[in-house]
Amino acid sequence: MTTRLRGRAIRRDAGLYGYERALARHGLTPVAGVDEAGRGACAGPLVAAAVVLDRRIDGLADSKLLTPARRERCFDLVLERAVDVAVVVIGPADCDRLGLHRANVEALRRAVAQLDVRPGYVLSDGFGVDGLAAPALAMWKGDRVSASIAAASVVAKVTRDRIMVDLHEQYPQYDFRTHKGYATAVHDAALRAHGPCSEHRMSYANVQAALRGQAGSVLQEEKAI
């Protein structure tokens, strides 16, 4: 698969730094990559990151392809060697209020805006981000073909995972440190047993089901009294 840039084709198999090299040849620098973590979770925040690179990061890859230990190592390297990094956290209540897609786009746009270095081009994973002050390209599975997006995916994922581990200390009954707020059998069982907390996204079907079940239990108790 190829992408065209001013009449020239960029092959998706050009390597993780292929897009950044091609954009640099056209004078479209610096390049910022943006990605998010937590889009599919039913608890915890949505976290977006924007990263500007000017050098290779050893071992860098899509965060989903890395072990937790390698993600942590890449995270440290990105923070140490990137030209600029920005992170935006959107809480669960705002995800419900805005709607997930709108919250996602808003988080990505804000992450780019918070960069101290103004990008000459922005690469995003999956879908376009409107309202940017620079030309941009949305890329299918961009975190696997663009170093900048891969770096953003690592920063967003590690940041969010750390938030969920901290939330586990406040709400140990949900085991957030294990599933990171995603819908699993263990998480759903905890929702049914304890009901949702303020870190759950109330617009999600499984959270709504837990709320209904909790309300039903209260009603049964009142009838019994």
**pTM greater than the 0.85 cutoff:** yes
pLDDT, averaged across the chain = 90
CB atoms within 10 A of CB 97: 13
DSSP assignment letter at 136? E
Q: Decide if 129 contacts 112 (C-beta within 8 A).
A: yes
Mean pLDDT to the nearest integer, 62-82: 96
Q: Give the per-residue pLDDT at 214.
A: 65
Contact 224, 59 (CB under 8 A): no
pLDDT tens column, 173-209: 999 999 999 999 999 999 999 999 999 999 999 999 9
Eight-state DSSP code of residue 24 = H
Which superfamily, per CATH, for 2-169? Ribonuclease H-like superfamily/Ribonuclease H (3.30.420.10)
Which tokens belong to 87?
A: 């992170």
Does residue 222 have a pLDDT over 70?
A: no
**What are the residue ranges spanned by the domains of the chain?**
2-169, 172-224
Q: What percent of the chain lies above the pLDDT cut of 90?
A: 86
Residue 93: beta bridge partners?
Answer: none
The pLDDT of 78-105, averaged and rounded, is 97
Q: Kindly list the distances between the CA atom of residue 14 and the CA atoms of 146, 152, 193, 195, 207, in Å, as whole numbers in the listed order.
A: 10, 20, 50, 49, 43
Question: What pLDDT does 14 receive?
Answer: 57
pLDDT band of residue 7 (cuts 50, 70, 90) is very low
Residue whose pair of structure tokens reads 């056209």 in the numeric block: 26
- Judged against a pLDDT cut of 60, whether residue 221 lies above it is answered with no
pLDDT digits (tens, 9 = 90+) for 89-98: 999 999 999 9
